[in-house]
Structure 1
Amino acid sequence: MLKFVKNHMDSISGIEIYPIISMLIFFTFFVILFYWVITAKKDYINNVSNIPLDNDNLDNQNNDLL
């Protein structure tokens, strides 16, 4: 099976660019994510981390839906 796939992939011209593009997209995403984490404001991180624990906010949202 592997021999068939390898032979089939070798017959496609220009296929060697796809793994390179995939790696660049993967690497770029994590570099941008790392930059965002480093530059994020501490107040924002604290607010977002307390969202699951904030019962008052959840109760207000439920009352707005009713």
Structure 2
Amino acid sequence: MDKNVLQSIAGVEIYPLISLAIFFLFFLGLLLYVVRANRQHLRSMSEMPLLSDEEIQQHLNHDVIC
């Protein structure tokens, strides 16, 4: 039954190509973000869960200034 329903939709063959393109572009964008990311910022963000509230404020203030 589902096969008959999908075959009755005009232009249904384009949807898998659109979904593949969206999938590819999303991960390409994610890859570009990771490659171009500021390593120092990522390092300070990864250390934040281990810091006290005062140290976090100091890091955030330092990031805003720089």
Q: What is the TM-score of this pair, normalised by structure 1?
A: 0.73
Residue 56 of structure 1: CA displacement?
A: 2.5
Q: What's the CA shift string for 1:10-55, capped at 9, x where partnerless?
A: 1111111111111111110100101110111111110111121122
Q: Is 2:51 the counterpart of 1:18?
A: no
Name 1:37's counterpart in structure 2: 34
Cα-Cα RMSD: 2.0
Q: Distance in 1 between matches of 2:38 and 2:56?
A: 27
Moved over 4 A (4+): 57-60
In the alignment, structure 1 segments of 5+ residues that lack a partner are 61-66
**Identity score, percent:** 40
Three-state SS of the structure 2 residue aligned to 1:19 is helix
* 1:27 alignment counterpart: 24
